[in-house]
Structure 1
Amino acid sequence: MADRGNFPESGWYIVISLPLGFIGLLWGFLFLMSQIKKHQLSSMKQKVEKSQHS
């Protein structure tokens, strides 16, 4: 870090990594939501099947 000549490169790294990290978080959040919805739908189906059988 003592060499100030590398500062522009680290600046570009930050500029590139921030949007990529944000996109990654957004994608992960959407993936989690879809997994939760699938789980809820499957549990709902199981409840419906149980109520129909009884």
Structure 2
Amino acid sequence: MIIIASSVLLLSFFVFVKNDGLFPVVLFSILLIGLGIYYLIHDSKRDSEGKKEN
């Protein structure tokens, strides 16, 4: 998952350098926010599962 995320970030960075526009920045922000939400949900699910076992 981390490898995929880093490759996507690198791709976004290269697109930003190439186009030098606002769209890649917005896309980059959406990707970062999406990843953050995904990790938050994933962590909370893992925590709740751990509490149930104990």
Superposition misfits of 4+ residues, deviation over 3 angstroms: none
| Alignment match, 1:10 | 19
| Alignment match, 2:30 | 23
Matched residues, number? 37
Unaligned runs of at least 5 residues, structure 2:
1-17
Higher Cα radius of gyration = 1
Provide, for residues 1-47 of structure 1, a one-character-per-residue CA deviation record: whole Å limited to 9, x for no partner.
xxxxxxxx834xx2110001000000000000000000000000001
| TM-score, with structure 1 as normaliser | 0.62
Q: Return the alpha-carbon distance in structure 2 between the equivalents of residues 36 and 22 of structure 1.
A: 21
| TM-score, with structure 2 as normaliser | 0.62
Cα RMSD after superposing both structures: 1.5
What is the percent sequence identity of the aligned residues? 14
